[in-house]
Structure 1
Amino acid sequence: MKPQRNYITSFSNPKVKWVSGLKEKRNRDEEKKFFIEGFREIKKAITGNQSSPIPCLPVNITSLFISPECFLGENEESLINSLRCPIYELPRKIFEKISYRDRPDGLIAVAETPSATVPWKEMKGIDINPILIIEGVEKPGNLGTILRTAEGAGVGLVIVTDPRIDLFNPNVVRASTGTIFTLPVYIGDLGDVLSEFQKRGYKRYAVTPEGKTLYSSIDMNAKSVFLFGSEQYGLSPLAKELADSTLYLPMLGEADSLNLAMSCGIVLYESIRQRSK
């Protein structure tokens, strides 16, 4: 049975202001909801990753806003019909007002903000490799790109410590192309997280321009945790102190560092290379 649709035809409709307001962190915090825009992203939020040994963030979609005038493909209707939540249909001009994108594809889902606390109890006895820790990340687009890269590189878990951004910022969801829902991503305290992985027998590598060891010279087949710092400040003194070793990427030009997402990609794909031998 197809879900019933509610039609919105006025810019002054309270629902328009409400869903558009979820672009702002204070409103997401107050409502305990966030929005997921785009067919691909919503599809991943619904399906998650059933094969992951660690649970991904649970997503409970509470409403869906659509504009058939903006649809780009032929599968939107099957996605809409698979949901059991209120559906609001808007004309293109009103949908563009609530959209976060320049060229919206006509789908925005609103979901309850899940708890992002690391599920240590559910990870008992689980050995995954590699693991990625991002400390103090400041740019939503960078974090989203890192998540997309991490999933492609076979990372089993990403933990964001001391974030300066909201994990559910629309730009994180967008830049990750929805992989925030198919890769276990959590928030934790740096000291607690590093201590836990030490107990579990992981080598903890801090990647920093001041590192002592070339990143490609270590054995990445062993259980490894890679730590990366914020774009502006890099890793904290605590992260470097608690790490078992510090790694560097060679820089042959005048620049003294690489973009955070690019640095992660280089190290993580070296991990793939070593593990595929």
Structure 2
Amino acid sequence: MSINTITSLHNPRVKQWSQLQERKHRNREGRFIAEGVHLVQEALRSESTVECVVYDMDKGIPNELRVAAATEGEVEWIGVTDAIIRKCTDTETPQPLFAVLKKPATDWRYLFEDKQALVVAVDGVQDPGNLGTIIRTADAVGATGVVVGKGTVDLYNSKTVRSTMGSLFHLPVVEGDLEELIPEAKRHHVRVVSTSLQAEANCYEHSFTGPTWLVVGNEGKGVSAQVQALVDDAVIIPMRGQAESLNVAMATSVLLYEAMRQRYFCKL
């Protein structure tokens, strides 16, 4: 167990951690921050590469993490001041610790090799909370993974990471160009499905039992025309009330849970 302390706001490592709040620095460094006890626990339990855990030295290492601190030999534990915690995080009332992690290497093969793939392809979703909820729901139903397409909010935005509630560490979540990846998925006999208000079939009539990619789009504009052109099937989520539409994260949840129902509880 390696424990160090840093007290100066001007320490080079503090500056480096603080810069990870910006996307350009996360991309350049290939690292990101996960804040709070729960996220740090999930990161340590997973196969993620945790470089260090930074905690408020006045409060000490939280009880939930003391065993991890004693057994995670390759992880550096660093005690810092409350001012440093606040400098390196963006919440108004930050939790008293965060972890610095390396971004995982992109590996598409798992998504294509799963013979019963269930993948969510995200095209241009802008809200971090929506993306985080989509990832969390994909994890909940046992999906193969999530592909984050171009134009989507940064996967490693601190708000996105928090919204996943740790699910970011449970299943493959990769970034890529959907216009390249969807044709590759189709070459592996995947059916690509999206929602459309003009669709004739509703989501409860469609079979999700085979290998499937679900394409979900921007909150206001939906799936882009370029990506929609690659879709095999369009379905509509029926609504009996007067709501005009569903939030993209909620719509994705409906489709994912229908796919899980068909596959594991009541197949068509």
**Which band: TM-score by shorter chain?**
0.7 to 0.9
Partner in structure 2 of residue 80 of structure 1:
69
- Greater shift, 233-242 or 69-78, is seen at 69-78
Q: Which residue identity does 2:230 align to in structure 1?
A: L
Residues 122, 152 of structure 2: 8 Å contact kept: no
Q: Which amino acid aligns with 2:231?
A: A
- Residue 124 of structure 1 and its aligned partner are, at CA, apart by 6.1
In the alignment, residue 45 of structure 2 is paired with which amino acid? T
Are residues 99 and 28 of structure 1, via their aligned partners in 2, closer, same or farther at CA, if it must alter by over 3 Å?
same
TM-score (structure 1 length as normaliser): 0.85
CA separation of 1:165 and 1:215: change in aligned 2, threshold 3 A: same
| Distance in 2 (alpha carbons) for counterparts of 1:104 and 1:70 | 13
Amino acid at match of 1:95: I
Aligned amino acid, residue 169 of structure 2: F
Which ranges in structure 2 are unaligned for 5 or more consecutive residues? none
Q: Which residue of 1 aligns with 2:87?
A: 97
1:104-156, CA deviations, whole angstroms, 9 ceiling, x for partnerless residues? 3322111223333x422x55643133221111121222111110011101211
Deviation at 1:214, TM superposition (A): 0.7
**Letter paired with 1:109:** A
RMSD: 2.3
Matched, 1:247 2:245: no
Counterpart position of 1:42: 40
1:64 to 2:67 alignment? no
Instruction: Measure, in 2, the Cα distance between the counterparts of 1:78 and 1:214.
Output: 50
- Alignment CA distance shift 1:246-1:75 (3 Å): same
8 A Cα contact 1:34 1:168, kept in partner = yes
Q: Tell me what 2:218 maps to.
A: 230
Paired residues for 1:117-266 under 5 Å: 118-120=107-109, 122=110, 125-266=113-254
Cα deviations across residues 169-204 of structure 1 (Å, max 9, x unaligned)? 111111001211111111222232222222222221
- Any idea what the Cα deviations from partners look like across 1:54-80, whole Å, max 9, x if unmatched? xxxx63222221115457952222222
Letter in 1 for 2:155: L
Q: What does residue range 13-24 of structure 1 map to in structure 2 within 5 Å?
A: 13-24=11-22
Instruction: State how many pairs are aligned.
Output: 264
State the alpha-carbon separation in 1 of the partners of residues 27 and 195 from structure 2: 32
1:256 maps to a residue whose letter is E
1:268 aligns with 2:266: no
SS of residue in 1 equivalent to 2:204:
helix
**Residue type at the aligned position of 2:101:** A
Consecutive unaligned residues of structure 1, counting only runs of 5 or more, are 49-57
Q: Which amino acid aligns with 1:66?
A: Y
- 1:4 maps to a residue whose letter is I
Once the two structures are superposed, residues 225-258 of structure 1 have per-residue CA deviations (whole angstroms, 9 ceiling, x without a partner) of 2111111210112332221211111244554321
Deviates more, 1:148-157 or 1:129-138: 129-138
- Give the letter for the 2:74 counterpart: R
In structure 2, distance between residues paired with 1:124 and 1:197:
6
